[in-house]
Amino acid sequence: MKSHSAELVEAAAVPELVAAAEQALPHQANALARARAFAEPLIASETLDTGENTLAHADAVAEILKSMGGSEAMQAASYLVYASHHLNKPQEVIAKAFGDSYAALAIETNKLVRVQQQARGAEVTAHLVDDPRVQTENVRKMLLAFSRDLRVVMLRLASRLRTLRWYAATKRAVAPGVAYEALHVFAPLANRLGIWQVKWEMEDLAFRFLEPETYKRVAGWLDEKRVEREDYVQKLRTELEADLKRQGIRAQVQGRPKHIYSIVKKMRGKSLNFEKVLDVRALRVIVPDVNDCYAALAWVHSRFSPILEEFDDYIARPKPNGYQSLHTIVRDEAGRPIEIQIRTQAMHDHAEHGVAAHWAYKEAGHKGYAGVAASGNYDTKIAVLRQLLAWERDLAGSAEGLFEDRIYVLTPQASIIELPQGATPVDFAYTVHTSLGHRCRGARVDGVMVPLNTQLHNGQTVEIVAAKEGGPSRDWLNPELGFLASHRARAKARAWFNEQVRHETESRGRDLVERLLQREGRTAMKLDDLASQLGFKSAEDLFYVVGKDEFSLRSIEVLLHPQREAQQHDDGLVLKKAKAPSRSGKGGVLVVGVDSLMTQLAKCCKPAPPDAISGFVTRGKGVSIHRVDCSNFREMSARAPERIIEVEWGAPRKDDAAVYPVDVAIEAADRQGLLRDISEVFAKEKMNVIGVQTQTVKGTAWMTFTVETSDSQRLAKVLGIVRDVNGVRSARRR
């Protein structure tokens, strides 16, 4: 198994990160002292959920921010966050004393704390969470979606690190949700943002609490104490940098020993024994150009004993994501393995800010330690965010567009639901479950009843009031009323109405079939058997086409009484083929090879020129002319192929003004004036309407127009105009 890149501490990135976060915080004289004095009487005697004194916690958070390079303004904000809990109007009071920016920070941070407390409970109890990894990723996304500027994130990271340190110092039992969230949410977030020292310490502390026995066992495997290992790597780093300089290679060498959680993760992810984890000690060498990379590699291999099977040249053969570096593992004089990476500054920048530095690659490799692939679109957003930080731009303004297309809200059980911006309680209901969406009748947002078209915002808790049964309202599909922002939710509502229409059509067809069977005295016949004999998969499929008038009941009569078809007086007809058509029969149809044979246009499909047609010899009524795509014709031809006869349309005569009746089926949203508007289209196009049938089912109008036309192709163009009439959903020939 090849070794993946070891991650090195780059403390220089942290001040840039903090500076970017602080651009939105105004610097005030003595802000830190004033904030502490403001908060002390409010929080000095208070304790957090963990049991830690609130003022002591705020002091420690401010100190952590200071160690990360945070200014007094940033440190001051930590006190105001906790003080705001004890104010009746926190935003107004803090804004008056310190300014709007501090007030907004305190309110947003506390809102996020509340959301995380609820989500943490959902993680532990697994309410409504099909996959905890999905829920964890939603928490991660929410952290950044909540934090339009980076101040909230920095405060939350510092606070959680302090909480873990406090548990470790007091040796108290840690709530599983706190440690789990630290390991799977906060530490990866610190990794994304390049705050490596927070990541490593938080991972090791959280892992120590979650799996104390494993932690102790791995710690015992290490042959040196942590301080000794760090001293060894630091000494090695200094020596290697000096040696390369003497070889004429200007190199920057960075290093760190791998932390316990990182070792365990690699062992589990790659199914390795401890002896096979070869990059416990790691160095990274950054040189000016590619030639220096290979020169440094040659010297390293001459200085140490290389493990050749562990060498990878990602410069000559870059990874698919563009990552480039030389990876080698060598052994020192004592036989201890050391991983060394060699790359140029440009390669390093790409690895840190390009695809290879994204959280999914850094935490899980190509396929993921847990087999979960990363979302490319979201990773791209994170890459953009990190570049914004590196450029020291105003994150509060610049990053706002990164997450403006998504929001994250909570169920009453604190599961996080991802929705599009502008989503409503109806969108929320459909996202939780399709049935809940159909039955949605009201909603409470943060405990308050709201209209169903209310737009939701990040962090709100949504509770749906649902009927025991029922369906959606047609108003939900009206975009002007703003009930649905999600395309998926809209599709689910529309599918419900389509299913209702199908149900009504099936009911109509069932009634027609059952009445026919009653007339024929065949009520004992199984409907599924009847459908199967007619070529349908189920009785419902038969009812549906009968209800739409697309299948003639005559076909059922023929099936029930096949002896009527077998009457001999008509069976003696012999049809002889000829090379050219004979004379015209009724309706301008030529019967090939037969003279003076009576023809009639079938009423089931009502053909018209230039439809593709075929003939079927009937009992005593000549040849019935059908469209070749007629379902009745297909049924009859399958049962009696010897009765099929070739026919075609005759050439129209100059004095021939023949027209053909054609049925047109129209489905539309019912409204006043609909019939008039459709009729006006036929009148304007000089197409005579000789019959109209209409039926309305739950707001949907089903119309059948019988129109006269001399050319079915022209009818197709007219139907295109009909489809443009307001409310019309479909218009087609029957």
Least confident stretch, 517-531, 596-610, 634-648: 596-610
Q: Which of 456, 376, 454 is nearest to 419 (CA)?
A: 456
Residue 107's pLDDT band (boundaries 50, 70, 90)?
A: confident
Class of domain 660-733: alpha beta
Distance in angstroms (rounded) separating the CA atoms of residues 553 and 604: 10
Q: Which of 604, 585, 603 is nearest to 646 (CA)?
A: 585
* Of 366 and 372, more confident: 366
Question: Other C-beta atoms within 10 Å of 684: how many?
Answer: 10
Evaluate if residue 141 carries a pLDDT over 80.
no
The DSSP annotation for 2-61 comes to PPPPPP---TTHHHHHHHHHHTTSPP-TTHHHHHHHHHHHHHTT-B-TTS-BHHHHHHHH
What single letter denotes the amino acid at residue 421? Q
pLDDT at res. 385: 39
Bridge-based pairing of strands 252-257 and 281-287 is antiparallel
pLDDT at res. 226: 62
Please give the structure tokens belonging to residue 427.
């969108």
Distance in angstroms (rounded) separating the CA atoms of residues 552 and 417: 50
Average pLDDT for 589-616: 76
pLDDT at res. 333: 86
pLDDT at res. 305: 92
CATH topology for the 13-170+190-201 domain: Hypothetical protein af1432 (1.10.3210)
What single letter denotes the amino acid at residue 16? E
Average pLDDT for 625-646: 85
Tens-digit pLDDT profile for residues 274-307: 655 544 678 899 999 999 999 999 999 999 999 9
Handedness of CA 217, 222, 227, 233 (dihedral sign): negative
Domain positions in the chain are: 13-170+190-201, 226-364, 405-485, 496-560, 568-645, 660-733
CATH 3.40.50.970 fits 405-485, yes or no: no
Tell me if 484 sits within 8 A of 490, measured CB to CB.
Answer: yes
Evaluate if residue 353 carries a pLDDT over 80.
no
Residue 642's pLDDT band (boundaries 50, 70, 90)?
A: confident
Distance in angstroms (rounded) separating the CA atoms of residues 420 and 411: 16
User: Does this chain's domain 13-170+190-201 share its CATH topology with 405-485?
Assistant: no
Which residue in the block uniquely carries the two structure tokens 């004036």? Answer: 673
pLDDT at res. 479: 87
Distance in angstroms (rounded) separating the CA atoms of residues 446 and 453: 16
pLDDT at res. 357: 35
Tell me if 390 sits within 8 A of 19, measured CB to CB.
Answer: no
Phi/psi at 606 (nearest 5 deg)? 45, 70
Evaluate if residue 59 carries a pLDDT over 90.
yes
Tell me if 84 sits within 8 A of 59, measured CB to CB.
Answer: no
Q: Which long-range contacts (CB under 8 A, 24 or more apart) does 439-445 make?
A: 439/466, 439/467, 439/468, 439/469, 439/470, 439/471, 440/464, 440/465, 440/466, 440/472, 441/465, 441/466, 441/467, 441/470
Reduce the DSSP state of residue 731 to 3 states and report it. strand
Reduce the DSSP state of residue 223 to 3 states and report it. coil
Evaluate if residue 566 carries a pLDDT over 50.
no
pLDDT at res. 638: 82
Query: At 165, which helix (H) or strand (E)?
Result: helix 151-170
Evaluate if residue 602 carries a pLDDT over 70.
yes
Tell me if 580 sits within 8 A of 593, measured CB to CB.
Answer: no
CATH topology for the 226-364 domain: Beta Polymerase; domain 2 (3.30.460)
Beta-bridge partner residues of 257: 281
Average pLDDT for 184-201: 74
* Of 577 and 345, more confident: 345
What single letter denotes the amino acid at residue 321? N
Tens-digit pLDDT profile for residues 604-620: 888 888 888 888 887 76
Least confident stretch, 51-65, 143-157, 431-445, 684-698: 143-157
Please give the structure tokens belonging to residue 339.
């991983």
Bridge-based pairing of strands 623-627 and 599-601 is parallel
Distance in angstroms (rounded) separating the CA atoms of residues 389 and 669: 53
Q: Which of 210, 197, 123 is nearest to 158 (CA)?
A: 197
Q: What is the pTM of this model?
A: 0.46
Tell me if 719 sits within 8 A of 732, measured CB to CB.
Answer: yes
The DSSP annotation for 442-509 comes to EEEETTEEE-TTPPP-TT-BEEEEE-SS----GGGG-GGGT----HHHHHHHHHHHHHHHHHHHHHHH
Evaluate if residue 562 carries a pLDDT over 70.
no
Strand order through the sheet with 448-450: 448-450, 440-445, 462-466
Tell me if 415 sits within 8 A of 42, measured CB to CB.
Answer: no
The DSSP annotation for 582-600 comes to EEE-GGGEEEET-SS--EE
pLDDT at res. 354: 41
Which CA distances in Å does 87 have to 39, 42, 236, 277, 503?
10, 9, 55, 53, 58
